[in-house]
């Protein structure tokens, strides 16, 4: 039996009755400790590799921001960055629901900014977004030239030129003109 | 600034940390209440994934904001990668930092180490506020109050959170709330807890019932030093277990208005019962503990804490004479002074286990008298 929250073996089974409904949780040592459940000596030691775990490996894509894979998360139960929550939202929601007594929609305080970026953040983000786009366009241009799609290549070159206009002085890498 | 911290030798002027002051509502049962908020920066990877440069970055961003945010009139800032092991151990024993922050290792991910960039800011002289930077989350805001005082602790933590957020972009989503490294903290990022002294419930054997009931109400019961620690000295921490989907107000209401008053009343009933029906047994337990504390030559931490628990009960129930040496705050403070790092600070040198046991017994013989 796997831990409800990660890929390790569940060493603790906790059964509680809430509102007349039986709730059963299976947790590994780490997550049981986090949840305040005491692990007694008779239960298996932590860190024992999951038998057969290798065979069930899922080919998973990585968080675009921090490169954490879902398999990695399942292995140690920790996420890599804020973007992980968005990227793995579908897989995370049922796990969070189990860990939080059936609930998975936040209620309560929100940051005054509502998580919106500070002016400094948006300036950084803008520059980053532009350089990302530029990189993508350049590789597309390369591909189009290689495939001898000259019409497409001309379109992409125009796009690159447009992107680089108005960014004089910071148009680092704008060699597309 | 850091030199103002817990570095001075113990004497009559030993600063009593907030959580041992024996003040406030229900302080006969509730040693302290604590509110902790977990927060992360949106633009920096979490601890499990951050490299050293990124950890340096989150440390700098949080520290700069901490020092201008007006969190407390006097505040100490300690960079823990530069602190000596004994200094870190003192802060752990004083409940200013966690064991994990002391070690600098991030749990399951197995990253980090003792020289990893991390720090703590804490208010002086009461150590009521402590803000850990680069623990499992970029920020862990903690406010401790003596006695049952969750609302005030929450108000203060909430205010500090606002002040920090004024200069930092937090990781937050509408769906999952405040985003944390471990998903068991996501949502409000809020952990509210009370440190309860329940010796009478142990003596009457009803403590297991309380633990089971707490489990059924989705509360966690932990020991004196948190996660995975034993309930030595009859000290138990009760806290909310889930953080997602229930508002701060709901968590506060259920603990402060419903659950904790019931546990407090249960312990008080057991105490009255001991006085009324089992006075001799009570006196026997208390005076034996007094005998051990004022005569032993070697003492483990566990035995000391167990005996101090009974001494505290005896002082509260009028079994012991009301003298300054046996007042509640003096006994509370002993719970801290017998811990290994505090003992070593008192004698001014490193001690091995046997020497510590001797130093502990000596300190107790000196302080526990009628
Ligand atoms: Zn787990
Ligand atoms: Zn990520």
Which residues are within 8 A (CB) of B245 and not within 5 positions of it... i.e. 6 or more apart? Answer: A100, A101, A102, A103, A104, A105, A106, A107, B187
> For residue B9, what pLDDT is reported?
39
> Interhelix angle for B328-337 vs B353-367, to 10°?
170
Separation CA A86–CA A65 (nearest Å): 11
> For residue B188, what pLDDT is reported?
97
For the ranges A110-114, A139-143, B76-80, the lowest mean pLDDT is seen at A110-114
> For residue B285, what pLDDT is reported?
97
Radius of gyration of chain B measured on its C-alpha atoms: 21
pTM of the model: 0.76
Give the distance from residue A32's alpha carbon to the nearest chain B alpha carbon, in angstroms: 9
The ligand placed nearest to the CA atom of residue B50 is 2
> For residue B13, what pLDDT is reported?
59
What band does B211 get if pLDDT is binned at 50, 70 and 90? Answer: confident
What does DSSP assign to residue B39? E
Closest Cβ opposite residue A36 in set B181, B239, B250: B239
Q: Is pLDDT larger for residue A120 or for residue A23?
A: A23
Q: Which fold has domain B18-269?
A: Creatine Kinase; Chain A, domain 2 (3.30.590)
Query: What number is the average pLDDT over the span A94-114?
Result: 88
Which candidate, A125, A64, A171, A39, places its Cα nearest to that of B222?
A: A39
Dihedral angle sign, alpha carbons of residues B157, B1, B330, B336 = positive
Q: Chain A residue with minimal CA distance to B241?
A: A35
- Centre of ligand 2 to C-alpha A81, Å, is 4
Separation CA B311–CA B290 (nearest Å): 6
Query: What number is the average pLDDT over the span B74-84?
Result: 93
Query: What number is the average pLDDT over the span B75-88?
Result: 93
Query: What number is the average pLDDT over the span A124-141?
Result: 68
**Residue B206 burial class via C-beta count within 10 angstroms: exposed 0-12, middle 13-18, buried 19 and up:** middle
- Centre of ligand 1 to C-alpha B138, Å, is 21
Query: Do B176 and B187 meet the contact criterion of CB atoms below 8 Å apart?
Result: yes
Enter the tokens of residue B68.
């201008």
> For residue A173, what pLDDT is reported?
43
Is B136–A78 a contact, with Cβ atoms under 8 angstroms apart?
yes
The ligand placed nearest to the CA atom of residue A35 is 1
Separation CA B245–CA B33 (nearest Å): 23
CA-CA-CA-CA dihedral for B111, B112, B114, B119, to nearest 10: -140
Is A78–B241 a contact, with Cβ atoms under 8 angstroms apart?
no
Query: Do B239 and B35 meet the contact criterion of CB atoms below 8 Å apart?
Result: no
Is B187–A106 a contact, with Cβ atoms under 8 angstroms apart?
yes
Give the distance from residue B228's alpha carbon to the nearest chain A alpha carbon, in angstroms: 6
Query: What number is the average pLDDT over the span B38-66?
Result: 94
Percent of chain B with pLDDT over 90: 79
CA-CA-CA-CA dihedral for B276, B279, B282, B283, to nearest 10: 140
Which candidate, B129, B135, B132, places its Cα nearest to that of B160?
A: B129
> For residue A58, what pLDDT is reported?
41
Separation CA A7–CA A53 (nearest Å): 8
> For residue B352, what pLDDT is reported?
96
Percent of chain B with pLDDT over 70: 94
Separation CA B99–CA B103 (nearest Å): 6
CA-CA-CA-CA dihedral for A91, A92, A94, A99, to nearest 10: 150
The ligand placed nearest to the CA atom of residue B181 is 2
Closest Cβ opposite residue A104 in set B172, B188, B244: B244
Is B165–A112 a contact, with Cβ atoms under 8 angstroms apart?
yes
> For residue A78, what pLDDT is reported?
94
Is the pLDDT score of A10 beyond 90?
A: no
For the ranges A61-65, A148-152, A169-173, B333-337, the lowest mean pLDDT is seen at A169-173
Q: Is pLDDT larger for residue B214 or for residue B124?
A: B124
- Centre of ligand 1 to C-alpha B35, Å, is 25
In chain B, residues under CATH classification 3.30.590.10 are: 18-269
What does the domain layout of chain A look like in residue ranges? 12-99, 124-177
Is the pLDDT score of A120 beyond 70?
A: no
What band does A162 get if pLDDT is binned at 50, 70 and 90? Answer: confident
For the ranges A42-46, A137-141, A165-169, the lowest mean pLDDT is seen at A42-46
Q: Is pLDDT larger for residue A167 or for residue B311?
A: B311
A residues 110..149 contacting B (CB < 8 A): 110-115, 117-118, 121, 124
Closest Cβ opposite residue A100 in set B221, B244, B248: B244
- Centre of ligand 2 to C-alpha A90, Å, is 14
- Centre of ligand 1 to C-alpha B231, Å, is 24
> For residue B230, what pLDDT is reported?
62
């Amino acid at each position: 039996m796997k831990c409800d929250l990660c890929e390790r073996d569940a060493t603790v089974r906790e059964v509680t009755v809430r509102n007349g409904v039986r709730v059963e949780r299976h947790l590994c040592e780490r997550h049981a400790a986090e949840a305040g459940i005491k692990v007694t000596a008779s239960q298996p030691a932590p860190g024992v590799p999951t038998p057969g775990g290798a065979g069930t490996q899922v080919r998973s894509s990585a968080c675009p921001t921090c490169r954490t894979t879902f398999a990695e998360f399942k292995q140690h139960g920790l996420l890599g960055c804020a973007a992980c929550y968005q990227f793995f939202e579908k897989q995370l929601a049922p796990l969070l629901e189990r860990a939080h007594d059936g609930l998975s929609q936040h209620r309560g305080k929100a940051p005054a900014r509502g998580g919106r970026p500070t002016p400094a953040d948006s300036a950084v983000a803008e520059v980053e977004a532009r350089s990302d786009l530029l990189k993508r366009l350049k590789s597309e241009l390369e591909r189009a030239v290689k495939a001898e799609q000259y019409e497409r290549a001309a379109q992409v070159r125009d796009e690159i030129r447009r992107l680089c206009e108005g960014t004089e002085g910071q148009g680092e890498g704008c060699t597309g003109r | 600034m850091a030199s103002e911290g817990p570095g001075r030798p113990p004497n009559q002027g030993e600063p009593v940390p907030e959580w041992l002051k024996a003040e406030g509502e229900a302080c006969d049962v509730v040693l302290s209440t604590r509110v902790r908020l977990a927060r992360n920066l949106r633009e920096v990877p979490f601890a499990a994934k951050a490299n050293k440069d990124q950890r340096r970055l989150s440390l700098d961003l949080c520290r700069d904001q901490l020092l201008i945010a007006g969190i407390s009139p006097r505040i100490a800032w300690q960079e823990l990668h530069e602190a000596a092991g004994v200094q870190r151990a003192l802060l752990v024993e004083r409940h200013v930092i966690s064991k994990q922050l002391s070690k600098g290792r991030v749990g399951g991910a197995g990253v980090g180490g003792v020289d990893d960039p991390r720090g703590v800011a804490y208010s002086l002289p009461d150590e009521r506020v402590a803000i850990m930077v680069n623990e499992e989350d970029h920020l862990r805001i903690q406010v401790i109050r003596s006695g049952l005082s969750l609302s005030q602790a929450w108000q203060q933590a909430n205010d500090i959170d606002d002040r920090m957020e004024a200069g930092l972009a937090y990781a937050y989503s509408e769906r999952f709330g405040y985003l944390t490294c471990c998903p068991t903290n996501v949502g409000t990022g809020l952990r509210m807890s009370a440190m309860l002294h329940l010796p009478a419930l142990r003596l009457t054997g009803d403590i297991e019932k309380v633990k089971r009931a707490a489990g059924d109400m989705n509360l966690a019961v932990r020991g004196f030093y948190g996660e995975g620690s034993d309930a030595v000295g009859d000290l138990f921490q009760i806290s909310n277990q889930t953080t997602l989907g229930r508002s701060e107000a709901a968590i506060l209401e259920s603990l402060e208005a419903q659950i904790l008053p019931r546990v407090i009343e249960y312990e008080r009933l057991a105490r009255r019962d001991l006085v009324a029906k089992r006075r001799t047994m009570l006196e026997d337990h208390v005076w034996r503990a007094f005998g051990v504390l004022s005569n032993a030559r070697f003492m483990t931490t566990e035995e000391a804490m167990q005996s101090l628990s009974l001494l505290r009960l005896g002082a509260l129930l009028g079994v012991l004479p009301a003298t300054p040496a046996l007042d509640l705050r003096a006994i509370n403070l002993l719970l801290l002074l017998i811990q290994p790092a505090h003992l070593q600070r008192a004698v001014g040198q490193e001690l091995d286990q046997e020497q510590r046991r001797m130093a502990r017994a000596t300190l107790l013989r000196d302080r526990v008298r009628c």
